[in-house]
């Protein structure tokens, strides 16, 4: 995690994890696709595989998701930048972002992605990346 405090939110939106992504990890629905995407990034940082699966769209959700890593291959998440949150109707949205990370002692990597989200019964879900 790139923050100095263990209580800082990894998504970079707020300094307090409990008031930011922590509340979504505890079960509160994310109010929009951007907040869901930020909470999913924070879940990767914190190793919350169950949350990631629960917020994955049922049509594209993997049967299993393991965040266990081989010794020396730990992913170090370095930061998140959200570039755009595009609403495509009442129940569809896209978020374009860059996540930075490093695996083990390797070089930093930038992952650029445009993710699609769908709201079902009042809850947002990650659908896929385009």
Phi-psi region of 67 (alpha: psi -120 to 50; beta: other; left: phi over 0): alpha
Q: State the pLDDT confidence band at 17, using cuts at 50, 70 and 90.
A: very high
For the chain, the domains span 21-129
> Which CATH fold topology does 21-129 show?
Nuclear Transport Factor 2; Chain: A, (3.10.450)
Does pTM surpass 0.75?
yes
pLDDT digits (tens, 9 = 90+) for 55-83: 999 999 999 998 887 777 889 999 999 99
Estimate to the nearest angstrom the gap between the alpha carbon of 80 and the chain centroid: 9
Pairing of strands 75-87, 92-103: antiparallel
pLDDT for res 15: 83
pLDDT digits (tens, 9 = 90+) for 101-125: 999 889 999 999 999 999 999 999 9
pLDDT for res 45: 96
pLDDT digits (tens, 9 = 90+) for 48-58: 999 999 999 99
Q: Is pLDDT above 90 for 18?
A: yes
């Amino acid at each position: 995690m790139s923050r100095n405090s263990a209580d800082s939110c990894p998504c970079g939106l707020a300094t307090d994890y409990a008031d930011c992504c922590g509340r979504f990890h505890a079960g509160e629905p994310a109010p929009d696709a951007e907040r869901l995407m930020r909470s999913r990034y924070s879940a990767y940082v914190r190793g919350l595989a169950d949350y990631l699966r629960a917020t994955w769209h049922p049509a594209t959700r993997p049967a299993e998701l393991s965040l266990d890593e081989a010794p020396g291959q730990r992913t170090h998440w370095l930061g998140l930048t959200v570039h755009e949150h595009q609403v495509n109707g009442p129940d569809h949205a896209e978020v374009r972002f860059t996540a930075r990370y490093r695996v083990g002692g390797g070089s930093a990597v930038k992952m650029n992605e445009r993710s699609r989200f769908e709201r079902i019964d009042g809850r947002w879900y990650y659908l896929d990346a385009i």
